[in-house]
Amino acid sequence: MTKSIEKQTTVDAAIKLLNEYDVVFAADLFKMESVMLQGLRKQLRGKITIKCIKNTLIKIAMEKVGFENADQFLSQIKGSTIFIFSNGNPFKIASELNRNKVKVFAKPGDLALNDLIIPAGNTGLSPGPIIGKFGALGIKTRIEGGNIWVNQDAKVASAGEKISEDLADILTRLGIKASEMGLSIKAAYDRGRVIMKDELIYSLDTYKGELKKAIFEAYNVAISSSYLTRETSPILVKLANENARKISILSEYITPQNVTDFISITATQAKTLERLVAQKQK
């Protein structure tokens, strides 16, 4: 099969997938081993279809299908890319893919996922050339009981910083897995809408917090506007009763419910008058 025929076959297959599925994900293949990819295919069988297609060929396929905003999506898929096709909720699928990542030891050049801290205490490592690597990273150590001890917690990299060769070596020796292996979503195309990576991978804790805040604010607005619902009716009835009581007192309208209030107010006024009269007589 010539290269041109092979390319056309790939484009035709991509067009078929684009017509069959509503959502297309572009994912980074960096650090993704074939064994893990096979396991992911098996685990999400029926939910997704994973295909390795060259960026140039998926571009041709999307242009032929006539997808809107395809250029915006294609601008996000540089480098080694794998495409995932699905008819499911793009946010749910992205979360499942993200959960399937596994922690691995970092290699030189990897980016730190979070701030990296070398904890204080016994490293379990014997003295040797490794001490120089600790020193180069600004980690204060001492030798005790034949082992290298870290004197205090030491921050060795900030999130997003490249991990050096020395740091990768130390992290591996200490058993600290500072990198991840798995499909990293770059963007998703959902029936004309392009969803960026930061929007797809959403923290559930953050979402719950924002949802609680929205419910609280909606409840306050409903109370302020006297909007009667099953949730607001108890407090609105209580507020209405309190307001009616206040109005009846201000208008000196005595009822069985406010008579004790009137007695209390009258007694207070009488005491005040008594005090003023006593002051006047002095």
**Pseudo-torsion of CA 145, 147, 153, 154, nearest 10°?**
150
Look at residue 35 in the predicted model and tell me its pLDDT.
66
For residue 43, pLDDT over 90 is answered with: no
For residue 261, pLDDT over 80 is answered with: no
113 contacts 218 by C-beta, under 8 angstroms: no
For residue 11, pLDDT over 80 is answered with: yes
More confident residue, 127 or 248: 127
SS3 162: strand
Segment 97-119 shows an average pLDDT of: 85
77 contacts 56 by C-beta, under 8 angstroms: no
Burial 158-183 (b: 16+ CB within 10 A, else e): eeeeebbebbbbbbeeeebebbebbb
d(CA 125, CA 134) in angstroms, rounded, equals 11
d(CA 2, CA 122) in angstroms, rounded, equals 61
User: If pLDDT is split at 50, 70 and 90, which confidence band does 119 have?
Assistant: very high
What residue ranges do the domains of the chain occupy?
Answer: 3-101+182-202, 116-180, 210-281
Strands, E, within the chain: which ranges? Answer: 23-28, 48-51, 81-86, 102-104, 116-118, 121-122, 141-144, 147-150, 154-157, 179-181, 184-190, 193-196
Our CA angle for 84, 85, 90, nearest 5°, is 90
pLDDT (tens digit, 9 = 90+) per residue, 128-186? 888 999 999 999 999 998 999 999 999 999 988 899 999 999 999 999 988 877 778 88
pLDDT (tens digit, 9 = 90+) per residue, 215-246? 888 888 888 888 888 888 888 888 888 887 77
Question: What CATH architecture does domain 116-180 belong to?
Answer: Alpha-Beta Complex (3.90)
User: If pLDDT is split at 50, 70 and 90, which confidence band does 202 have?
Assistant: low
For the ranges 110-114, 119-123, 145-149, the lowest mean pLDDT is seen at: 110-114
3-101+182-202 is a CATH 3.30.950.10 domain: no
Same-fold call for 3-101+182-202 versus 116-180: no
Give this prediction's pTM: 0.56
